[in-house]
Each structure stands twice: as structure tokens, then as C-alpha cells.
Structure 1
Amino acid sequence: MTGTTDSTGASSATGATGASGGADAAGPDAAARQPRDLVAEVAAGFEELYGAAPAGVWAAPGRVNLIGEYTDFNEGFVLPLALPHTAVAAVSPRTDGVLRLHSADIDAPLVELRLDELRPLSDGGWAAYPAGVVWALRRAGHTAVTGADLHLASTVPTGAGLSSSAALEVVTALALDGLFELGLSGPESARLAQRAENDFVGVPCGIMDQMASACATEGHLLHLDCRDLAVRQIPFDLAAEGLMLLVVDTRVQHALGDGAYAERRAGCEEGARLLGVPFLRDLPYAELPDALEKLADEKVRRYVRHVVGDDHRVERVIGLLDAGEVRAIGPVLTEGHHSLRDDLRISCPELDLAVAAANEAGALGARMTGGGFGGSAVVLVEEAAAPAVTEAIRTAFAGASFTAPRVFPAVAAEGARRVR
């Protein structure tokens, strides 16, 4: 596929930035729409477009990651939660080997493709994501997929590090699984969605985003072991504690496909090779100081320190949550940001300012989240302090002449599901 990619990997080859066309494509409040608002809209749009009601409507959420960054492709641990923001797809099956795709959020004509002509890295723009899922399904032996009509819309902001592409991939996999009775589990759907992004679109992402979208449950964090995809649902009811998790979308978009992400992945793999372990998750945290002394390459040393440290931070956060010490996770979040900024070096001035301004205004902790180089930060605050912290962030951005950030609460929502 040609063209650049945004923070979710969404291609701009055709001038689009993902299925939603960017959060502002439907106005500044697009990301605040509730998923249920989209269901009737997408179903009606499908019928207008294709001349018949859809066979069904499915939804898959974006995600925000609380802690554990760049650990997934190192077969480590992550702790994301699903967001209320979703990609919604109205879908009907076809039997003629044709795939038709349309997004309500992009001013572009319907895309028509033949299944037997799908090729990795083809110039498909945003449509490469659902097309890549079909390609991955058929390569995995699911030849029962004989074509489909899809009409999509999304409230997941693109370019914000909130996994708009994974939501698009997972909702496509879920819909086709339902339509063609493929019998896929949530992890199987996530693996196929990841394969679409890795091998069809060309972004070497790990499995976290797709697993969070496919397998998260309402009111919980998803503790995921990225080696065997074992999951534990961790209760996460901040409101009951008088707390709130804010997402600060800096509105700085980045490109995971521009080489920086792949370079860090390669550096992590080189670190594991030099240390004689299969993946960095196999290096015990207690052995990290000795391991770092063995690495002559300063850049590889930094990457190793971050990944092994962030795996340990996931464990610390889970221990604190299990002990009911929710407020105590705040400093661990801030510590994680410093590692992402100084060791992995994937932050940016806007993210650093959001974290600093939030903490100076009384937040319990904050860090950037997602692939970096832009995107979003998460901020843990006392619920009563949320307005003041939000205002402090906005004031700081204005003072630095940065684009005004979008700030909204993150509530642990339901994962992918059929909605009609």
C-alpha cells in the first residue's frame, strides 16, 4: 500500500485518514457521539447505498492503554481498556467474490474490489484495513467468505493513538465471522486483524490494539500476556473511588509507518539477541542492571531499559489495583512517561507539556499513551479536580501556541459485539 500513515496506521494514499476520516471530519464533537447514535445511522446509510437493509450491524471500540507501551511485540504485558468510541459496520454477505466498502465519514465513492485480486500493500487508502481482514481470513483458510457489502462509520479519533485502525479491522472480522459462521474466538479475530495490519497494510504493530478491541469488557482493564494471549479482566471502577481518567488528545498526528516504530522494534529485537533471550519479556527485571552493562549500543540499551521496565510497571500497577490502592498508580504512570520520553524517545513537546501541566495542577499521575510522536496522554485525577486540571492543560497549550487539545474522560467500555 502506498502513501503515509497516521498514528493508527491509516493510509492517506487517497487523501483519507482512516475510516472516520479524522475526528473533525464530522465536526469537533464527533468523538463524543455515543455508539448507539451510529447504529441507526449506519443501518440507514447502508440501505440507501446498497438498496436493501443490512444483514447485521456490529461495533468494535478504540482503546486507551493505561500502562505497558512497546511491550506487546516483545511478548510482554499490557493493560489497556476499551473506549466508548467505536467503529460501526453494517454488513451483508455476497456470493460473487466482490467486496464493496464505503465510509460515511469520508467524502469518497464506494470502493469495489475482487477477492481474488487482493494483494498486500495495494493502494487502497482507508479501505486497505477491511480489505486486509478479508485477505487475512481467506489466507487462513476461511474460503467461506465469498464477498460482502460494508458501510462504516466511526467515532474513534484518528491520529490520536486510540487505535482507530484496530477498531476498523476488528469490526470487519467480527461481522464476517457472524455472517459466514466462521466460529472465530476473540483472540483469533484479533490475530487475523493484526495480520491484516502487519502484512497487508504494512505496519509492524503488536497485538495489543486488536486484542483490546476484541476482548475488553465493560468496567475492566484487560491484563494481556502478549505471548499466549492469556487475559485477566481487572476491575476498574474509578467513579467508585472518586477518580477519573482523562484522555488528552494533543491533536498532533504521527505515522507509525514512517520507520520510527519499526526502528525501535528492530532495536528491541537486537537487544534480545545480544542478551541471549527469545524476547525482552524473558529478561527478569532483577537482572536488568547487569544486562544493560553488556550492551555497548547506547540506543539499544535505552530500548531494553524501557521495555523491561514497563513490563515491571504493569506488574506494579496490577499489584496496586489488587490491593485497592488505586491512587498509588499515579506516580507509576508518570514514571512510565519519563521512560517513554527519555529511553524510548517517542514523546513530543505537546505530550510532555500535557503531562507536566496536569501534574503541576494536582493530577495523581499522567503519561503519554500509544505509539508516540503525537497522539494522546492519559491523566489520573480526583474527580473534583478534573475541571481545574483540564483548564490547566488547555491554558498551557495556549501559552505555548499549540493547537487546543481535546480532553475527555476514559470510561472502560464493552469490547466488540453485534449491535443489530
Structure 2
Amino acid sequence: MVIMTLNCGSSSVKYQIYDWDKKRRLASGIVERVTQKGSVIVHEAAGKPEYKKEQDCPTHREAIQLIIEAVLHPEYGAISDLSEIKAVGHRVVHGGEKFAQSVVITDEVVEVFKSIAHLAPLHNPANIQGIEAARQLLPDVPHCAIMDTAWHQTMPDHSYIYALPYEWYEKYGVRRYGFHGTSFLYTSRRAAVLLGKKPSETNLIIAHIGNGASINAVKNGCSYDTSMGLTPLEGLVMGTRCGDIDPAIPFYIMQQTGLSPKEVESILNKKSGVLGITGKWVDRRDVEIAAEQGDKRAILCQTIEGYRIKKYIGAYMAALGRVDAIVFTAGVGEKGPIIRQIALEGLEALGVKLDPERNRVSMTRNAETIISTDDSPVKVFVIPTDEEMVMTEDTYALMNGTYDIHTRFTYTFENPSYRNAERLEKLPRDMEKWPGLEKIILNT
């Protein structure tokens, strides 16, 4: 069975074509600048050169049409006929309290997504547009929704209820929902494999650090608490989002500047975080270069970001009581040794012993590594995430009639013998670039 997955953002569409029977990615890519001029697709099919094409995509429909054309391209494509695609899986950021697991999309499901779109105004409208466009362009195959929030539906009420008027929760759904659920699901199950334990026996702290960033306390294999809240704005320092702040600050700034609530909300989401502190950069690689050159605000930014992660790690260690491992994942988590070092320095008394050299050479998205010392009571892993694999497997299982809520479902990547063939093919290049990496790789 060939499965397509789509991740529709406000101005981009990421996609993957996966052959479930052969357990092989056939193609993947991204359409950038959707709804803007200068849209471009970057497409890569297995064993073929990268393909790029510029073509304006005023809506997500044109972007998905561009993807279909790339997938069918006689020279750069991955399949010969659209009928080979048997199902489509869609990422949906916010499922509210309506969904605790992935579902087959119906008209009624789409209406539910629309009814809660106000809970994620920067994400859900784009997700919905992508779903509607894909259902029009691929009307003869089932479509499935995989929600970031579903993973966190196991949180106890004392983790997700805010100290606000309770009727706000009852009437308006104000509560902590949490996001990055597919990433946390994948990395938590892989961490259990590395620990040699059942997922239900593991307590973890997982830091998904990318442009968007959040941290998850996992108790007995299930989400127990997480840093993002009603929206993805709360919690860690992110590329352009502020994370935790005094809630009175927006009101103060509105009084001082005359800015409208909408303008302040935009600043908190799009002009804060790393960009807000440095005034120049969003990409942590740019911040790292500037810090090495002595830029004080770049150094400050790294320190603030790492310190915020450290505070959450300490809080979640207290909440969990016992922690088997700390996991770093996503772009910065997988290839950001400086942020990892700042976040873990000084935690030796809590049983966390970072190996500086292991941390330095752990610079790959193609292998799982250990960066703690051999005698560290709490292990520290770097596990490259694979959200598309979760989306693909949920979609397949829904089609096959074998799917169930994650607390009762076993994924193929939970098998100790599971290997990602594509990543293994790319790994030698990383080992050549980073001598010593081969010594800390797990499960090759």
C-alpha cells in the first residue's frame, strides 16, 4: 500500500510518499511560500536527483496539485499513476478534547475541526484548507487525520487545568492541550527500545527543540505534562514565539504603546523568541555563529533558551519522581550541542551526567545516540524524530482495521530490530564528518 502524508502549514506543505509493503520512502519534499508570490517545490524521490520548480500557489489546492505533478513526473517522480496512492494522512495540530486518537476524515470530522479552529488560529485553518483541497484532488481514496493533541489526552486534570475561572474551561475549552504529539509518541517508543523496557515501564523527559519547541513529561509511557498550553505559544523559547511570560505584559504593552490585542498577539507569536532577543536571527545556526564571534545578544539568547529548558527538566524530574532518560529531538535537539549542554549543565546532583565529547559529536539525524556518561543514572539520548512514520502507520492501521488508541497500539518501530533503511544509507557521511560519532550510536 502506498500512503501519502501531508503537513499543511500556513505558508508551506510538507509531504511524503511511503510504500508500506516495502517499508520504504518513495519521495518527500516541501512546497514553500504557499499563498505568497514565488512559491517553490523542492522534491526528492528515492535514487533520483533533487527536483525544484517555481510556480505561484495562491492556495493550498495549487500546492497539492504541484506535489501531485512532482510525484508523477516522468523523470523525477516516484509513482507512475495516481491510483497507486491508497490513502492520505493529514497532520492536524489541534483536535481539542474531541479526539484522543487518529480518525478517518468525514464531512462531520471536518466540521469539528472548523468549530475548534479558534483554538489554533495559526495552524488549524491551514490544516483544514489542506484537507479540503486534497479531498477534492484525491476524491477516491480515504483521508485520515493525525492530531498533535491526541497524544496528550492522557494528562491528568491537575496537569491541564489552569488556575482560572473553571467556567472558562467548561464554556470555552480553556485548558492545556499540548502539541508535537506525533514526535513525542515516536521518540518515547524508541527510547523504551533503547532502555530495553516496555513503554508502560518508562518515565521520560522529551525535549522537541526546533523552530517550535516544547517539552513533555512521560509517565509510564503516557503524556503526563507538557509545556505548550491552550496554544503553541506557552512554554520554551522558540524561533519567533516567546514561550512563558508574565501574562500582564501584553496588557502593559498595549497601554504603553497603543498596540491592539491582535498586533500584540502577532508580536508574541512572530517577532519574539530567538528573533526577539537577537533582533536578527531565527535560525539557531546563525545564532551559534554570531555567539562564536562574540555577539552578546546571541550569547544571551543561547543562555536564555538553554536555561528555560533546564528549568522545565528540573520541574518534570520533580513531577515524575523517577526518570529513566532525557531525550532531545527535532532540528535543534538533534544537532544543537550548545543548547543541550546549557540545558544539562549542573544537573549532576539530579543524576544527569553529560559527556561533553559525546555531546559535541552527536550531530546527525540518521542515528540514535547516547550523550550521557556510562555511569549516569539518568540516560541522555538524542533520537531523530519521525513524525511522518507515525502518520503513515496510523493511516495504514486505520485502513487495515488494526488501529487503536496509542495506549493499546503497538507500532512497528517499537520492535528492537526496527531500522530506518534510508537513514542507515546516509549515516556513513555523518560519521565521516564527525569522527567519534560511531562510538555513541545505538541500534545500528
Q: TM-score, normalised by structure 2?
A: 0.28
Q: Relative contact order: is structure 1 or structure 2 higher (C-alpha 8 Å, sep ≥ 6)? A: 1
Q: TM-score, normalised by structure 1?
A: 0.29
Structure having the higher Rg? 2
